[in-house]
Structure 1
Amino acid sequence: MIARVNICHFIFWMGIMCCPHLTIAQQGSPIIAFASDTQAPLFFEYITRKIDHNEKATELIFKDIIAIHPSSLFILGDVVSLGYSNAKWKKMDTYLKWCADDSIPVYAALGNHELMLNAKKGKRKFQSRFPMHNFTGYREIVDSVAVILLNSNFSKMADTDITKQDNWYKATIKAMDDNPAIKFVIVGCHHSPFTNSKVVSPSLQVQQKFVPAFINSKKCVLFLSGHSHNFERFNVQGKYFLVIGGGGGPHQPLLSGKELTPDISHAYKPMFHYLEVKRYGDSMQIISRQLKADFSGFNDGLIFSVTR
Structure 2
Amino acid sequence: MRRLFIIFALIFSTGRAFAQQTQPVIAFASDTQEPMWVEKLLLKSNHNQKATEMIFKDVNTLRPAGMFILGDVVSLGYKTKKWARIDSYLKQCTDDCIPVYATLGNHEVMLNAGRGTKNFQTRFPMYNPAGYTEVIDSVAVVLLNSNFAKMTTAQILAQDNWYSTTIKKLDADAAIKFVIVGCHHSPYTNSKIVKPSMEVRQNFLPAFINSKKCVLFLSGHSHNFERFNMQGKTFMVIGGGGGLHQPLYANAVTPDLSANYKPMFHYLEVRRNNDSLQLVSRQLNTDFKGFTDGAVFTVK
TM over 0.5: yes
Match of 1:181 among 175, 178, 185: 175
Match of 2:192 among 190, 194, 198: 198
Distance in 1, matches of 2:248 and 2:94, equals 36
Match of 2:113 among 116, 119, 132: 119
Identical residues among aligned pairs (%): 64
1:86 aligns with 2:84: no
**2:15 paired residue number:** 15
Counterpart of 2:167 in structure 1: which amino acid?
I
**1:236 paired residue number:** 230
Matched residue SS, 1:265? coil
1:276 aligns with 2:269: yes
Give 1:47 shift. Answer: 2.3
Cα pair distance change 1:132/1:12, threshold 3 Å: farther
- Structure ID, larger Rg: 2
Counterpart of 1:217 in structure 2: which amino acid?
S
**1:4 paired residue number:** none
Distance in 2, matches of 1:99 and 1:50, equals 30
For residues 239-278 of structure 1, the aligned pairs below 5 Å read: 239-257=233-251, 259-278=252-271
1:226 aligns with 2:220: yes
Cα pair distance change 1:195/1:18, threshold 3 Å: closer
Counterpart of 1:46 in structure 2: which amino acid?
K
Cα pair distance change 1:11/1:44, threshold 3 Å: farther
Cα pair distance change 1:90/1:11, threshold 3 Å: farther
Q: String of CA shifts for 1:195-224, please: whole Å, max 9, x gaps.
A: 000000000000011011101100000000
For residues 124-203 of structure 1, the aligned pairs below 5 Å read: 124-203=118-197
| 8 A contact 1:195–1:260 mirrored in 2 | no
Q: Which runs of 5+ in 1 are unaligned?
A: 1-9
Runs of 4+ in 1 over 2 A off after TM superposition: 10-19
Q: Please report the TM-score for the alignment, with normalisation by the length of structure 2.
A: 0.94
Distance in 2, matches of 1:12 and 1:229, equals 41
Counterpart of 1:279 in structure 2: which amino acid?
R
Distance in 2, matches of 1:215 and 1:240, equals 10
Matched residue SS, 1:120? helix
| 8 A contact 1:224–1:242 mirrored in 2 | yes
Cα pair distance change 1:94/1:175, threshold 3 Å: same
Distance in 1, matches of 2:75 and 2:16, equals 39
Give 1:17 shift. Answer: 6.4
Q: Tell me how many residue pairs correspond in the alignment.
A: 291
Distance in 2, matches of 1:219 and 1:159, equals 29
Q: String of CA shifts for 1:24-77, please: whole Å, max 9, x gaps.
A: 8xx432000000000010012222211100000000000000011100000000
CA RMSD of aligned residues (A): 1.7
Q: Which runs of 5+ in 2 are unaligned?
A: 1-9
Give 1:303 shift. Answer: 0.2
